[in-house]
């Protein structure tokens, strides 16, 4: 991939610098906040080399790249001529997003920068738990203490780190909000809570709480700090603004956080933890079936960020999280489906994509598998989701639990080991992964993917033979000669011989038994091959590619086996005509050269299923 070329084409396609409020990236996606969401051409962007797909969710225009996204992002910023810290300075959009979209945007913006480090330290804690369980280390060893301090520091001082991230997201001074987070976990305050020492601020009693590893209080505190800071900045004299703004902000916000925000936010945190556990205990198996079954669909729409605070809050509040214990298998389900296609596919383009997607999935990145393999084929994605649901139900039934925040893939497995040692919950967790992967693999291999017949298995017509083959009409309408079509590429015979139909209704049916070779992304054209080797193109309308799929609905995918009379595509002839396009449909034998003669049936009217072409 040429990163600079990809970045340049993406930038042009989203409307250039002037249409971008901000852009960041996660593990696999460029996430744009655009001024005008109608301006980008999604189909054009999907055709750019290196782009897997495009998703709009949570107020973001997301361009899915895959594992190479950091390099494309770097090239994008270079092309835009901005620095990384300038790329996320948002302006007000002309279009107001929904409250939920703004919530998802805030959560993703606050947590996304720290997710990778969270996963890393979580894995380290899991590996230490494994080492102590197997007797390779003890918690009294210096090596263990140093590594554990490294792993646990992020959780202990989470308000500091999250404060910095939240400060940036809310447009405030991130160092100010980091100091606010540090105050929450300051040793004196923590000791006061432990010793039950009474504290007051200007005679107002302070509710003492242990804020180490907390999530919600600092996010609310950082939001308030950013608001107060901006307000003070408007009126502060320029000569003293550098120190007076942070001074007044801290003096005002710090007491508010300790007196009101902290206690209220802690009640919210406890409510979230207790609520999720209440739902879980109603029926762990059913909860796992539903959540895991729909989880990858939730990720597609970017809504999973709304769950991140709950998962993290469970860990910091309870010390464990059963929800992630049920969801973790979903990445293995999609990976199993991609692996099945990688083994079964004979498509020289799809096979390497599925293979690399399988490797990425094992490492915990499922976007290449979803957007590049399972979702375009539809059935594999659905079957993998079913397998994930069964895996999630297994995990819930057997009590699988996460003891840290785990990203997907094999490296996250140690996070599910109980710090006290390997238990039944961890065994159940491993079983859930195997169930999800194996079941998705089997279902996809047997039922989810069909190869188009390779050339070696297709009966290619021999011009020395004169047996007659028949192509039936795919449409109801008026039959006209191909030479009468107002498109030289068809009328000249350059594409092959055949006939044309002016449709009277908007349905195209399979003209023979065979296989779908190609379904154009704009759905206006379909390539087929019959069981006896006739290669056929059905091209609905002239220049209808410009409609970009509008007014068309496809009912088949590449590789599908079809029977004569199966519905291939529906379209709206009147709407297409109203848009100024000719709906004349060309039916062309694209391998005309291997035949002696192609005869078009006589008559002005023809019905779907009647003889259209005789081929010798």
Catalytically annotated residues: 26, 539
- Give Cα separations from 237 to 233, 234, 247 (angstroms): 8, 9, 14
Report how far residue 544's alpha carbon sits from residue 118's, in angstroms, rounded to the nearest whole number: 49
Comparing CA positions, the residue from 344, 292, 360, 581 lying closest to residue 448 is 344
For the four alpha carbons of 144, 150, 155 and 159, in that order, the dihedral sign comes to: positive
Query: What residues form DSSP beta bridges with 32?
Result: 23, 61
Element (H, E) at 129: helix 99-133
Give the DSSP letter of residue 219: H
Give me the count of residues in the chain: 616
Q: Whose structure tokens read 């007196």? A: 259
Element (H, E) at 606: strand 605-606
Q: Give the DSSP H or E segment for 320.
A: none
Name which of 138, 148, 2 is nearest 71 in CA terms.
Answer: 2
Give the separation between CA 314 and CA 403, rounded to whole angstroms.
Answer: 9
Who contacts 215 (Cβ-Cβ below 8 Å, separation ≥6)? 158, 162, 269, 309, 312, 313, 316
Copy the structure tokens of residue 70.
Answer: 């950091």
Site of tokens 């055709």: 47
Q: Are 154 and 161 in contact (CB under 8 A)?
A: yes
Sorted by sequence, the CB contacts under 8 Å of residue 47 that are 6+ apart come out as none
d(CA 286, CA 477): 52
- The neighbouring-strand residues paired with 321 are 402
31 burial (CB, 10 Å; 0-12 / 13-18 / 19+) is buried
Give the containing element (helix H, strand E) for 382: helix 379-397
- CA dist 221 and 424 (Å) reads 40
Pick from 96, 164, 111: nearest CA to 305? 111
The set of residues, in sequence order, having a beta carbon less than 8 Å from that of 11 and lying 6+ positions away, is 17, 76, 79, 80
């Amino acid at each position: 991939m040429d990163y600079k070329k990809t970045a340049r084409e993406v930038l042009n396609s989203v409307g250039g610098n002037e249409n971008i409020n901000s852009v960041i990236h996660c593990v696999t996606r460029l996430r744009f906040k655009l001024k005008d969401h109608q301006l980008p051409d999604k189909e054009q962007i999907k055709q750019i080399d290196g782009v897997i797909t495009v998703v709009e969710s949570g107020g973001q225009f997301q361009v899915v790249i895959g594992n190479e996204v950091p390099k494309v992002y770097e090239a994008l910023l270079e092309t835009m001529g901005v620095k990384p810290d300038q790329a996320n300075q948002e302006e007000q959009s002309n279009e107001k997003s929904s409250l939920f979209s703004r919530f998802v945007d805030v959560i993703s913006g606050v947590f996304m920068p720290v997710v990778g480090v969270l996963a890393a330290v979580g894995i380290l804690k899991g590996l230490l738990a494994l080492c102590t369980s197997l007797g390779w280390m003890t918690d009294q060893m210096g090596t263990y203490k140093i590594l554990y301090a490294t792993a646990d520091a992020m959780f202990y001082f989470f308000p500091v780190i999250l404060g910095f991230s939240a400060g940036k997201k809310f447009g405030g001074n991130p160092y100010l909000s980091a100091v606010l987070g540090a105050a929450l976990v300051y040793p004196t305050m923590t000791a006061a809570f432990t010793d039950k020492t009474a504290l007051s601020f200007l005679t107002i009693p302070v509710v003492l709480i242990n804020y180490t590893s907390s999530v919600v209080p600092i996010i609310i505190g950082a939001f308030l700090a950013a608001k107060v800071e901006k307000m003070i900045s408007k009126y502060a004299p320029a000569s003293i603004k550098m120190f007076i703004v942070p001074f007044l902000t801290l003096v005002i916000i710090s007491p508010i956080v300790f007196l009101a925000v902290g206690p209220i936010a802690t009640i919210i945190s406890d409510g979230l933890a207790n609520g999720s556990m209440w739902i879980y205990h109603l029926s762990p198996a059913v909860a796992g079936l539903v959540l895991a079954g729909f989880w990858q669909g939730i990720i597609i729409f970017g809504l999973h960020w709304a769950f991140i605070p709950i998962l993290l809050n469970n860990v910091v509040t309870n010390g464990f999280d059963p929800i992630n214990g049920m969801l973790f298998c979903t990445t293995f389900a999609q990976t199993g489906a991609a692996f099945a296609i990688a083994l079964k596919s004979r498509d020289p383009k799809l096979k390497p994509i599925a293979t690399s997607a399988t490797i990425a999935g094992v490492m915990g990145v499922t976007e290449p598998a979803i957007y590049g393999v399972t979702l375009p084929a539809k059935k594999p994605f659905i079957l993998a989701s079913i397998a994930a649901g069964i895996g999630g139900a297994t995990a819930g039934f057997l009590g699988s639990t996460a003891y840290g925040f785990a990203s997907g893939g094999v490296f996250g497995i140690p996070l599910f080991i109980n710090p006290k040692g390997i238990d039944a919950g961890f065994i159940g967790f491993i079983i859930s992964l195997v169930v999800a992967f194996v079941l998705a693999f089997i279902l996809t291999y047997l039922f989810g993917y069909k190869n188009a017949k390779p050339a070696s298995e297709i009966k290619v017509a021999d011009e020395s033979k004169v047996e007659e083959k028949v192509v039936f009409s795919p449409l109801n309408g008026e039959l006209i000669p191909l030479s009468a079509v107002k498109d030289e590429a068809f009328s000249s015979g350059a594409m092959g011989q055949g006939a044309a139909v002016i449709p009277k209704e908007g349905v195209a049916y399979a003209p023979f038994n065979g296989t779908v070779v190609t379904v154009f992304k704009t759905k206006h054209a379909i390539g087929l091959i019959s069981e006896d080797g006739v290669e056929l193109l059905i091209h609905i309308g002239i220049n209808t590619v410009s409609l970009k799929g509008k007014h068309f609905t496809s009912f088949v995918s590449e590789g599908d086996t079809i029977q004569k009379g199966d519905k291939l595509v529906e379209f709206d002839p009147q709407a297409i005509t109203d848009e100024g396009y000719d709906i004349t449909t060309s039916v062309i034998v694209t391998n005309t050269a291997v035949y002696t003669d192609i005869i078009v049936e006589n008559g002005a009217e023809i019905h779907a299923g009647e003889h259209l072409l005789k081929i010798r």
